[in-house]
Copies of this chain bind each other. A is one copy, B any other.
Amino acid sequence: MPTPRTPRRTRTDAERNRDRVLEAARALFAESGHDVQMAEVARAASVGIGTLYRKFPTREALIEAIAERRTADLVAEARRLADTGDPAQGLAGFLYHVGQVLAEDRGMSEVIEKAMGSAEPRGETREALLTVVAELLGRARARGTVGQDVTAGDVNIVICGLAAVTRNAAGDWQRYVEIALDGLHPR
């Protein structure tokens, strides 16, 4: 009789290492963007390169895993703001929040720039982000905070630009948000 298969529990050290890698990579990517060397990630995680690759078979996979997480956080915050009735928050609050996050995370600014810009936002999380943003916009429009003619696409390109600004003129992103918000206001 073959295949008695009793699937053991995942080894605790394996799980711990996975977390270490994720955390180290998150920090490095935030600091220097996605072109960090895999070896450096392994070192920062106090893990062998072999282990790193067992967890994430490809650099792409690692980047993707982290992008997914962080995007989910963004979505969560957007939902929170959407539910909060606070008029001062909503879309505007979200833009400031995104600016804050991207200014401290170069890797994410790269992810978001692409996600908001291009027409192929692979991954359901990235899709979810577009959805909440659209909802945020809907509320803002209903409240009269932004013009009736403002589209979701408009907001997306504003965020796309925001990503570039946080990446290159880290100190002035708030001013950028102000200008963009003014530009979206009903005339």
Contact = CB atoms under 8 A, between A and B. Distances in A.
Instruction: State the copy count for this chain.
Output: 2
Given A180-B179, A182-B183, A183-B179, A161 B165 contact: yes
Interface stretch (A9-17, A112-120, A126-134): A112-120
A122 interface: no
User: Interface on chain A toward B: helix, strand, loop, or mixed SS?
Assistant: helix
Contacts of A173: 157
Contacts of A117: 164-165, 167-169
B179 A169 contact: no
Interface in A129-187: 153-154, 156-158, 160-165, 167-169, 172-173, 175-176, 178-185, 187
Nearest to A185: B182
A121 to B, nearest CB: 11
A138 B160 CA distance: 28
A145 to B, nearest CB: 14
Contact of A165 (B160, B175, B181): B160
How large, as a class, is the contact surface on chain A?
20 to 34
Given A180-B179, A180-B180, A160 B168 contact: yes
Nearest to A184: B179
A106 to B, nearest CB: 13
B176 A157 contact: yes
A177 to B, nearest CB: 10
A107 to B, nearest CB: 16
Interface in A42-56: none
A187 B173 CA distance: 20
A163 B162 CA distance: 11
